[in-house]
Amino acid sequence: MSLHALLKGWVYKLWYPMRGLRFSAGPNFRVHGSLTVRGPGTVTFGRDVTIGMHVTPYTHHRDAIIRVGDHCFLNGTRFGCQQHIEIGRDCIIGDARIMDTNFHSTRADRWRDDAPVVTRPVHVASNVWIGAQSGILPGSEIGENSVVGFGAVCSGLFPADVVIAGNPAVVLRLIEPA
């Protein structure tokens, strides 16, 4: 375990709350890359979370919650959260984008202030591996032990124990039990 990464984690755990951000991380929080927390919401990392590359959990509403479970590895992951993003324990998440909102309306009148914007919670279950350049879109649920392949764009519900790939993402096959 790298002492330098533990010290960086300790500094982030002190620095962000001191600046008024609602950020917390459990014991053994390690940062090998960098972490930029922004927004008025709450960001909570569990025990033994490791950060690689540049990770950006951004909240866009005071009630927004990003929660990452114990023993997760985030490697360049970018979050955009208006409501709720939940990551289970033991996950590996690459340089992916996870968003619970479209940020803009998809209707033709998108420039109007009252144009509706889709916002739905995202849930990634335990022991999920999300590959680089993947997109996890509003309302998506990824089942336990699943693997999301490189560049997959997930929208909707995906069962446990499957390999998911493509744009739009589909289930390719079951994962063999250990």
Domain limits at 35?
Answer: 3-161
Position 109 in a domain: yes
Sheet arrangement for strand 92-93:
30-31, 50-52, 73-75, 92-93, 129-130, 147-148, 162-165, 170-174
Position 83 in a domain: yes
Position 13 in a domain: yes
Position 118 in a domain: yes
Could you tell me which residues come within 8 angstroms of residue 54 by beta carbon, excluding any fewer than 6 positions away?
33, 34, 35, 36, 76
Burial of 140 (0-12, 13-18, 19+ CB in 10 A): buried
pLDDT at 124: 98
Please give the Cα distance from 43 to 23 (Å, whole number): 5
Look at strands 170-174 and 162-165 and give their pairing.
antiparallel
Position 41 in a domain: yes
Position 170 in a domain: no
Helix, strand, or coil (residue 145): coil
Give the pLDDT confidence of 150-169 residue by residue, as tens digits: 999 999 999 999 999 999 99
Position 171 in a domain: no
pLDDT at 178: 73
- The CA distances from residue 103 to 17, 82, 115, 137, 144, in Å, are 26, 8, 11, 11, 27
**pTM recorded for the entire structure:** 0.95
Q: Which two tokens stand for residue 116?
A: 């509706």
Per-residue pLDDT, averaged over 100-110, amounts to 91
Position 167 in a domain: no
What is the DSSP annotation of 41-54? SEEEE-TT-EEESE
Give the pLDDT confidence of 32-87 residue by residue, as tens digits: 999 999 999 999 999 999 999 999 999 999 999 999 999 999 999 999 999 999 99
Tally the domains of the chain.
1
User: At residue 21, what is the residue type?
Assistant: L
* Percent with pLDDT over 70 in the chain: 99
pLDDT at 176: 87
Give the pLDDT confidence of 114-146 residue by residue, as tens digits: 899 999 999 999 999 999 999 999 999 999 999
94: CATH: 2.160.10.10
Helix, strand, or coil (residue 64): coil
